Amino acid sequence: MNEFEKEIIQSAMKDVETLKDMMEKKMTGEKVELPIRLPREKNHSLNMILYGAPGTGKTYSTAEYAMAIIEDRDVRKNYTAEERAELMKSYKQCVKDGRIVFTTFHQNYGYEDFIQGLRPDNAGGSMVFKPIDGVFKKIADKAMSDDDNAYVIIIDEINRANISKVFGELITLIEDDKRWGEANEISVTLPYGGEFAVPNNLYIIGTMNSADKSISLIDTALRRRFEFVEVAPDESLVANDTLRTVLHKLNAGLRKELESTDLLIGHSYFIGKDEIELCKIMNRNIIPLLYEYYYDDSKKVRNQVVEVLDGLDYEVEDTVVSRITVKEKS
């Protein structure tokens, strides 16, 4: 047996001992005592999802919702540029202090990333696997040790992962009355040992693109544990009259044709823009979305764009080999 083979065997034996120790702790009921907590008065929903069509400012809005929770105040809708800058300054400080955490779900996001999982560690000179806390458990533990302050985890694109698989035990633990400190508080023993509970001062804010996946497709057990807040297109935020009219016509046509509020166009595509940029906005942002909404039905897309441009100094340009585009009239 060479040195390399010996090292592999030694590493495997250490892993077995680590897992054995974890299981013994789990079987004997050894656990860390969680602190005693009292029920907490809450002015905001503990679990909420901001949902809406593309470009409505869902992710943009999470900073305001998070700071409203942190500062224990009502949510504000409109900010001046200076007020937004001050808000983001406070937000970034809370992120730095660990009171706000931002993460994005994706198809490969798992329980091990969110709660706890085994990770390789060769700090001692040989490879062993140790349980490492995920992003949610880290902020939950921090919130558990600080009863005086609120904590927020923001989960962007929450519907892009297998939510039930990622949340695991949290399906039960995040319920309002089962949070640690509430009347029906519950704790669980995690797979690799250790008692865990979700404190009543930790808030979850998710965002969801309603055009990407309908709310109805989210697991029913999880859906009933969240409050859903719609972030709808807001024409009043578009300063330019022409662009505001274009946005209004686009969404009026989509509502009529598709009979859905999920498949609309958000205001963020037009905010801070001038009419001179209309061709660029339509060709690079809006028309690709319309093709997606209408399942590549060029006739329907063309009809809608023609209707939107009616009365303006722009027209549709047809090409043989590609999608339609918008150009200024000659």
Parent domain of 277: 235-328
**Do 170 and 67 belong together in one domain?**
yes
**Do 82 and 117 belong together in one domain?**
yes
pLDDT of residue 121 exceeding 60, the answer is yes
Mean local confidence (pLDDT), 98-102: 98
Residue 244 is assigned to a structural domain of this protein: yes
**Do 303 and 159 belong together in one domain?**
no
| Domain C-terminal end among 205, 230, 255 | 230
Note the pLDDT tens digit of each residue in 107-119: 999 999 999 998 8
Least confident stretch, 73-87, 138-152, 213-227: 213-227
Mean local confidence (pLDDT), 255-268: 94
Total Cβ atoms within 10 A of residue 252: 14
**Do 219 and 84 belong together in one domain?**
yes
Number of domains in the chain: 2
**Do 209 and 92 belong together in one domain?**
yes
Residue 18 is assigned to a structural domain of this protein: no
pLDDT of residue 171 exceeding 80, the answer is yes
**Do 190 and 97 belong together in one domain?**
yes
Residue 147 is assigned to a structural domain of this protein: yes
Q: What is the pTM of this model?
A: 0.86
Mean local confidence (pLDDT), 161-176: 91
Note the pLDDT tens digit of each residue in 42-72: 899 999 999 999 999 999 999 999 999 999 9
Least confident stretch, 23-27, 40-44, 58-62, 212-216: 23-27
pLDDT at 23: 46
| Domain C-terminal end among 210, 230, 250 | 230
Residue 291 is assigned to a structural domain of this protein: yes
pLDDT of residue 26 exceeding 70, the answer is no
Per-residue pLDDT band for 5 (boundaries 50, 70, 90) equals low
Residue 25 is assigned to a structural domain of this protein: no
| Domain C-terminal end among 230, 263, 297 | 230
**Do 279 and 296 belong together in one domain?**
yes
